């Protein structure tokens, strides 16, 4: 059976991990957190002093994930999307959260003031949505609101239906 690969992206704090894990457990697809993959393999090529975090070695991350992506059936979670091969993904979901709600979520993380402010700005200027629209065919990119538990549930159900349709259409 062929299975689709799905990318869940968006500004830090919008709920990618929450949605991705729940979706994986309900669909049976595998969940891949790119940040964790990088950490486990130390796939870094520098350190960002301003953001106080290591810099992802995008080429190494792509090499590391290539086999799993070729297999299909992956839900990939990352706050960036322009360095993945376009052919990997059959759907890209960009989560969106209102500023005040996002601010409250990010406040609980140990981000410095600059990083917190930049992340809020990233959401206001819809940086990830535009990155997704530039990196993938527009008709596979979908924005989903991610403010409340009800919206989370709606998003899960919507993506589960999308997976079901895709699987039906690709497994005659
Ligand atoms: P990300 O992986 O995008 O950084 P997380 O999944 O870690 O975001 O979510 C950040 C915080 O927001 C968590 O505390 C999570 O429980 C909460 N959260 C995520 N999605 C929603 C939602 N739709 N409604 C309410 N809270 C949410
Ligand atoms: Mg996360």
Q: Identify which of 105, 143, 151 to mutate to test ligand 1's pocket (most ligand atoms within 8 A of the CB).
A: 105
pTM of the model: 0.98
Task: State whether the beta carbon of 151 lies less than 6 angstroms from ligand 1.
Answer: yes
Task: State whether the beta carbon of 149 lies less than 6 angstroms from ligand 1.
Answer: yes
Binding site members for ATP? 13, 15-18, 109
Question: Beta-carbon neighbour count of residue 124 at 10 Å?
Answer: 11
Per DSSP (E only), the strands in the chain are: 6-9, 30-33, 44-48, 53-56, 74-77, 91-96, 141-145
Q: Nearest ligand to the C-alpha of residue 106?
A: 1
Strand 91-96: give its sheet, edge to edge: 30-33, 74-77, 6-9, 91-96, 141-145
Distance CA 8, CA 100 (A): 22
Percent of the chain with pLDDT over 90: 98
pLDDT digits (tens, 9 = 90+) for 95-133: 999 999 999 999 999 999 999 999 999 999 999 999 999
* Residue 39 pLDDT: 98
Confidence of residue 93 (pLDDT cuts 50, 70, 90): very high
Confidence of residue 3 (pLDDT cuts 50, 70, 90): very high
Count of CA atoms in the C-beta half-sphere (13 A) of 92: 28
In angstroms, what is the span from residue 168 Cα to ligand 1's centroid? 30
List the residue whose alpha carbon is closest to atom 19 of ligand 1.
Answer: 15
């Amino acid at each position: 059976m062929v299975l689709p690969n799905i990318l869940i992206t968006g500004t830090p704090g919008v709920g990618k991990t929450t949605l991705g894990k729940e979706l994986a457990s309900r669909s049976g697809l595998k969940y891949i957190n790119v940040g964790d993959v990088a950490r486990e393999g130390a796939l870094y090529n520098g350190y960002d002093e301003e953001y106080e975090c290591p810099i992802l070695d995008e080429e190494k991350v792509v090499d590391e994930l290539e086999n799993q992506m070729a297999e299909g059936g992956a839900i990939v979670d990352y706050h960036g999307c322009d360095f993945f091969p376009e052919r990997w993904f059959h759907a890209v979901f960009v989560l969106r959260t209102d500023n005040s709600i996002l601010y409250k979520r990010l406040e609980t993380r140990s981000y410095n003031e600059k990083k917190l402010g930049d992340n809020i700005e990233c959401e206001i200027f819809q940086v990830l949505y535009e990155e997704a629209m530039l990196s993938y065919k527009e008709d596979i990119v979908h924005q989903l609101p991610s403010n409340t538990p009800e919206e989370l549930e709606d998003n899960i159900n919507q993506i589960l239906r999308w997976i079901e349709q895709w699987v039906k259409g690709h497994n005659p």
